[in-house]
Amino acid sequence: MIVKDKVFKLLYDVEKPGRYIGNEINMVKKDPEKVDIRFAFCFPDVYEIGMSNLGLKILYHLLNEREDVYCERAFMPWVDMQKKMKKEGIKLFSLETFTELDRFDIIGFSLSYEMSYTNVLKMLELGGLPLESQKREKGMPIVIAGGPCTYNPEPLWEFIDVFVIGEGEEVILEIIDLYKRYKFSNMTKEEFLHECAAIEGCYVPSLYNVEYNPDGTIKSIVPVSENVPARVKKRIVKDLDTSYFPTKMITPLIEVVHDRITLEIFRGCARGCRFCQAGIIYRPVRFRKAEKVLQYAKELVENCGCNEISLVSLSTSDYPNIDELAREILKFAEDKKVNISLPSLRLDTTSLDLLKEVEKVRKPTLTFAPEAGTQRLRDVINKNIKEEDIYSTVRLAFERGFQNIKLYFMLGLPLEKDEDVMGIYTIAKNIREIYKELGFKKRIRITVSTSFFVPKPHTPFQWEAQDSIENMQRKMKLLKENLKKVKDVEYSWHDFYLSKLEAVLSRGDRRLSKVIKRAVDLGCQFDDWGEFFDFSKWEKTFQQENIDWRFYSDRKRSFDEVLPWDIIDTGVTKEFLKRECLLAYEGKTTSSCFDRCTGCGVASFRGGICVDK
């Protein structure tokens, strides 16, 4: 209680105090004295971002279903709050009971993006814990981490005791059972970690030795003993219909980034874009039955009261009969003044009508992600969007009164030439032309956004070099100069250095953990926030650690190099990735899993659409 009182006194003087009060609709209340395990779910970013994360909500409620566990939440406090906490001697606390982090049994981090790595360390520090796993003895919390970034866990290896690879719904319960045995017996931490490693989907980095070649590449990654698996296989939930999904979902009191109910309609993506990590790690595609979606949608509206429900997936149009489902939901949603949103919809005539019908509130904006400016390059990356289709959709959209078009592209893709960069300009120009041809006079808004290609682990492009900063700059300028000539076009590009650091961290190895720690010491945090990101600080840390960051970002690897993340088994074989990479070089496309199975290897999981084939 004392911590709570102290915290509340600080809140009169900080930005957005609502971040620190907890007490939300459907927050789980338990007596901490009456549980065996206290679990702190930590999200390494501010409240408004963390509370928009669906994974957090699923695991929070799943864990709290257990009577013997109390799962609470902690987020990264904003810098003003950090200062005040430090002054008053308050450690990072949970929002449920205002318990300080070092009093928990297990601390679980959600790793959604690499740029939050410094925040992970900062949160441990604010929680009064030693950063290194080795320095945390029995009696101190075990630190685990899950989420998409764990597919290359190595940069954080020193700090995390156990990484959970893949979907956490089942593994986490197994870890808790094991932890209970550990807590209430004289099992040592080392024994605990060894037993953890035996759980499928658990990667315990301290149980592996990494050796390097003289050129800095990895020679070998070897488990310390025979009982430790040579590779860690990801876990999946085989059937979404029988798996856990919370319908009494915790709902924030203050506005968060995605301020709506999120309902997952399927997992995975069958398209196989060659740059996309999500498309690989979330394989195979598993659909949730329409009846289930409908039932959940109703319950969620009843329990949360939100005015918007978002049907999420990686590629919404691929859900069978999405129109029908959306219209079914609309039937009861409309009456309750609830809106439906359908993110990641592929745009064509049918979906345009659907959008018009269901997404009533939002300003009608059409979003396309062709990713590359020419058909040639789109074939290289296996992005199946035809330019003609964009134009015909745009034409229909203009006729229906849409006035905002957003276009997303990537610069620096493998095999990119200046023609491809100019292709982006051509698309924007043609869209503006169409508008003019239709005889419209009013101003419109065409937004072109480019990000820089970041080669990601476990993708067919994992071996590729990222463009140098100079090249990025040159291409951006080329595009910018040309887009200036087109009326009503706005151009925005992603920070070069941010993309650089993302490339370094996402393909990093164990040597980076020292770098990250040093960066935190130098004051790096909230790297994903433009106002805080400072690449020069990072450069300094790399220098001090005597590491050239270009080794990780700008270097092309050979197919037979041992990669830091080879230890992780996504089910997709390296042969498949290699084959896809070679096809990319030839500009040949691969069909989607819906058309035919191209043998990526994930069928071994015996789940989702691969089994039905």
Partner 1 sequence: MLTNKYRFYFSRDLPAAFISHLDMTRLFERLFRRLNIKLKFTQGFNPHPKIVFILPMPVGLCSKEEIFEVECEQELDISIIENFNKILPEGLKILKVELATDKIQVSDMYYQCFVEAEEEFCKYFDEFMKKNPAIKKEKEGKVTVKKIFDFILSYECEKEEKAIKISFHINVLNGSYIKPEDILREFSQEYNIECKIVRVERVKVNYKRVI
C-alpha 28/C-alpha 114 separation (Å) is 29
Interacting positions 250-289 with ligand SF4 (CB under 6 A): 283-284
**How many CB atoms are closer than 10 A to CB 68?**
11
Q: What is the DSSP string of 548-584?
A: -THHHHTPPPPTTSBPGGGGEE-SS-HHHHHHHHHHH
Which of 270/306 has CB closer to partner 1? 306
- Choose from partner 1, ligand SF4, none: what does 336 bind? Cβ within 5-8 Å by kind: partner 1
Q: Does 438 bind partner 1 (CB under 8 A)?
A: no
Q: Does 308 bind partner 1 (CB under 8 A)?
A: no
C-alpha 266/C-alpha 351 separation (Å) is 18
- Find the shortest distance in angstroms from Cβ 593 to ligand SF4: 3
Q: Which residue in the set 82, 217, 243, 303 belongs to the binding site for partner 1 (CB under 8 A)?
A: 303
C-alpha 10/C-alpha 81 separation (Å) is 8
Q: How many residues touch ligand SF4 (CB under 6 A)?
A: 12
Structure tokens at 139: 């009696």
C-alpha 456/C-alpha 497 separation (Å) is 16
Q: How many CA atoms lie within 13 A of 191 on its CB side?
A: 10
- Find the shortest distance in angstroms from Cβ 575 to ligand SF4: 12
Q: Which residue in the set 219, 336, 477, 606 belongs to the binding site for partner 1 (CB under 8 A)?
A: 336
Binding span for ligand SF4 by CB under 6 A among 54-62, 409-417, 526-534, 592-600: 592-600
By the 8 A CB rule, do 564 and 529 touch? Answer: no
**How many CB atoms are closer than 10 A to CB 392?**
14
Which of 393/590 has CB closer to ligand SF4? 590
Q: Does 504 bind ligand SF4 (CB under 6 A)?
A: no
x/- mask, ligand SF4, residues 528-557, rule CB under 6 A, reads ------------------------------
Structure tokens at 262: 């999120």
C-alpha 518/C-alpha 375 separation (Å) is 44
Q: Which residue in the set 3, 11, 173, 294 belongs to the binding site for partner 1 (CB under 8 A)?
A: 11
**If you search the block for the tokens 């939930």, which residue do you land on?**
237
Q: Which residue in the set 83, 86, 289, 337 belongs to the binding site for partner 1 (CB under 8 A)?
A: 337
Binding span for partner 1 by CB under 8 A among 122-130, 248-256, 315-323, 341-349: 248-256
562: exposed, middle or buried (C-beta count within 10 Å: 0-12, 13-18, 19+)? middle
C-alpha 428/C-alpha 446 separation (Å) is 7
- Choose from ligand SF4, partner 1, none: what does 155 bind? Cβ within 5-8 Å by kind: none
Q: Does 577 bind ligand SF4 (CB under 6 A)?
A: no
By the 8 A CB rule, do 296 and 334 touch? Answer: no
By the 8 A CB rule, do 192 and 179 touch? Answer: yes
Q: Which residue in the set 25, 79, 140, 562 belongs to the binding site for partner 1 (CB under 8 A)?
A: 25
By the 8 A CB rule, do 409 and 424 touch? Answer: yes
Q: How many residues touch partner 1 (CB under 8 A)?
A: 29
Residues in the chain: 613
Interacting positions 346-375 with partner 1 (CB under 8 A): 361, 363
C-alpha 429/C-alpha 422 separation (Å) is 10
Which of 302/575 has CB closer to partner 1? 302
Q: Which residue in the set 38, 235, 602, 607 belongs to the binding site for ligand SF4 (CB under 6 A)?
A: 602
SS3 content of the chain, % helix, strand, coil (to 5): 45, 15, 40
Q: Which residue in the set 82, 307, 426, 598 belongs to the binding site for partner 1 (CB under 8 A)?
A: 307
Q: Which residues bind partner 1 (CB under 8 A)?
A: 8-9, 11-13, 17-18, 20-25, 251, 253-255, 301-307, 336-338, 361, 363
Q: Which residues bind ligand SF4 (CB under 6 A)?
A: 283-284, 593, 597-600, 602-603, 609-610, 613
